Structure 1
């Protein structure tokens, strides 16, 4: 493939990516670094076999894109890893058990109703105070990780299809509700809609919207990702701006132009939607504040989600929004460029490595001494919360939208601290 060869040739093997790569930081193995994986990709492109070892090293990559940020040559490693994973998925060089686990994950997580159904059995055994962890660990580490990461049931929130702006209308925006966000953290979506409305936006919440395809896209399931992308494009056809409150979803939607570039029927619409997509913090920073912020006496640690910081380049905006709240103090987390280990479904498929990275991130978060962790991606929230709990720490986690919502509505810090 001409594109693949060109992208490979951009790498000059300088090694600037090494200290920012989570798996290289963990193990110090060249083949588990971006440079090493690019070497393996080059061998494949030159006709080498797709070996089990190559698949293993590619699977171990989180796709966090820290290397893209660090690279002085502008290597599109994100595109390289996606294309390589497409080839692996097409060739299916995995065991039957591995394939079944992947099919299970992708048959559930992109579908909110199925996610909701999955939580029923978990809710039942937790009420009985049963610990299925050891049994699930023996059956499948992936199933055990799924059980650990699933949060307690949250009260469902049904958003209307239109939330009217408060005061003079400044904008009309569409809002993605997501899959994991919708089912595991419905309060984040409710807070997002309220903040947008209080800042003068009519918020359109298309009823028929589904998964954005991020999990599929980042796992090499190209045709599945394209189908999800087309459905989202159709659902948001009538809005000028789409606001997204989950980093992975926003990253994927901003990439639709590339995902559907070879589809003559959808390419133009896909590129247009990518150009209209904004992360919540990005959009609010562009819009400028109007609603009054009330004091919120909290010390928060802000976590840079990889698909927000590395993929979208959205770092300053969330900090600026939080910094505009009277009484709120922000503390930085050490090594922010190193992924927490969530990375879409990575913490399900590579639970051991993900746990090591989660523990590392949890220690750095705890070291800030903050009252609260702020994160802008549901996967990060699940991953870091689980790691903190594993270390015997209870630190509440909130989304940027929830902090802004509390400040604008004058809700005290107790609403967050009671989450411990």
Structure 2
């Protein structure tokens, strides 16, 4: 995925500094600082390419980038900013000496979140912590914010935890089988939002798919890839390829994961043993909404009288170009009303690990997004990425607003099973 030394001059030279990216860049919108815009960061990348060492201010500007890729969508010159920022982040990790506290926090995050078993072990203590109401007390005191804004951000982002349904290795199609698909369960999605995976499997089955859920799957490598930890991402990618090689289609319900898996073709392009296998996996990876729209509806949609606001996850809309399909699926549900959120291209502030490592900027963006959600007067927020769900739910909570949050899969599941609006808007968040 990262660019070679030979490629960088061409990639950097593609930018004509026209400024079309500025209104779409979340950090430029927040602060109006040129060096916190895509073209400003490209200027800094050019300085580094010409021999300027990575200074602390340069690294701070790179760290403040969310990697949302809204600028890639907006750019009339086709600048591959996604490759530029990921290459630069890999260089930062190799060349820039972070403080001991930063290194410790980053290692803790990357030793926890990409590992489902470790997240599962955390569930018990975290659930007990939530049930004791200690979380509310700690938030009122502000103690954790003073000790560590990063830890405070992680604590606030944790969703309410209930029982974790475990899926079998195969879910049979309802009625005549139309296809056999593999399903990625993910890390955070699988352990913190297991209901989304269960709903995904049911929707696919009701649409006539045999759903294969390989036991050997683990992290897809998205968090590592988007944070400049390329070797780590490659290791996760190889394992994912092995787990899913036997299926013809892989359905993914997390925007960041789907985006990363579609980039395996670039990530492993220089490895002769893996390049072809990586390309094959990238080609057969589909987002849930993308795949169900391609397949065409078969199961009956039952009325669901609810007003929803649909949120465009950046790695779905900008990285994968999937915007119309989720809206079309929601619009196909009788009595459901879809309302648009203002400034849909401005990131909510989640961006993988961004809301952990840049909590202040992420909170500002989350508050902006929450205010725009509130302005729709919707009863339900629908998103297609676990990070977005946690981020916006947290921001809504800070504003004292009680709007339920659901995944597109959960809305479709409620309609196909005839569960009614109460299953979505009245459930505990």
2-side partners of 1:143 and 1:208: how far apart? 31
- Contact 2:172 2:211 (C-alpha < 8 Å) held by counterparts: yes
- With the length of structure 1 as denominator, give the TM-score of the two structures: 0.99
Which residue number corresponds to residue 339 of structure 1? 347
Which residue number corresponds to residue 46 of structure 2? 42
Shift of 1:372: 0.4
2-side partners of 1:405 and 1:417: how far apart? 14
Which residue number corresponds to residue 232 of structure 1? 240
Structure 1 residue 85 and structure 2 residue 81: aligned? no
Shift of 1:76: 0.4
- Contact 2:184 2:213 (C-alpha < 8 Å) held by counterparts: yes
- Contact 2:127 2:162 (C-alpha < 8 Å) held by counterparts: no
- Contact 2:159 2:390 (C-alpha < 8 Å) held by counterparts: yes
What SS does the corresponding residue of 1:12 show, helix, strand or coil? coil
1-side partners of 2:282 and 2:131: how far apart? 43
2-side partners of 1:295 and 1:125: how far apart? 38
Q: After TM superposition, list the pairs within 5 Å mapping 1:252-271 onto structure 2.
A: 252-271=260-279
Superposed CA offset, 1:355-404 (max 9, x none): 00000000000100011010000000000000000000010011111111
Shift of 1:126: 2.7
Superposed CA offset, 1:222-243 (max 9, x none): 0000000000000001001000
Shift of 1:412: 0.7
Structure 1 residue 125 and structure 2 residue 129: aligned? yes
2:185 to 173, 177, 181: 177
What SS does the corresponding residue of 1:228 show, helix, strand or coil? helix
- Contact 1:296 1:407 (C-alpha < 8 Å) held by counterparts: yes
Shift of 1:418: 1.2
1-side partners of 2:166 and 2:26: how far apart? 38
1-side partners of 2:194 and 2:126: how far apart? 18
Shift of 1:113: 1.7
1:167 to 145, 163, 175: 175
Shift of 1:122: 2.7
Which residue number corresponds to residue 392 of structure 1? 400
Say how many residue pairs are matched.
420
- Contact 1:154 1:186 (C-alpha < 8 Å) held by counterparts: no
- Please provide the CA RMSD for this pair: 0.9
- With the length of structure 2 as denominator, give the TM-score of the two structures: 0.97
1-side partners of 2:193 and 2:414: how far apart? 16
Structure 1 residue 29 and structure 2 residue 33: aligned? yes
Which residue number corresponds to residue 294 of structure 1? 302
Which residue number corresponds to residue 102 of structure 1? 106
1:195 to 203, 209, 212: 203
Q: Could you list the runs of 5+ residues in structure 2 that have no partner in the other structure?
A: none
Superposed CA offset, 1:100-158 (max 9, x none): 10000001001112112223333233333222342222221111100000011131111
Which residue number corresponds to residue 219 of structure 2? 211
2:116 to 96, 99, 112: 112
- Contact 2:20 2:75 (C-alpha < 8 Å) held by counterparts: yes
Which residue number corresponds to residue 74 of structure 2? 70
2-side partners of 1:154 and 1:20: how far apart? 37
Which one is further off, 118-127 or 209-218?
118-127
1:246 to 242, 254, 262: 254
1-side partners of 2:246 and 2:218: how far apart? 16
Q: Could you list the runs of 5+ residues in structure 1 that have no partner in the other structure?
A: none
Superposed CA offset, 1:190-221 (max 9, x none): 00000001101010000110000000000000
2-side partners of 1:324 and 1:168: how far apart? 22
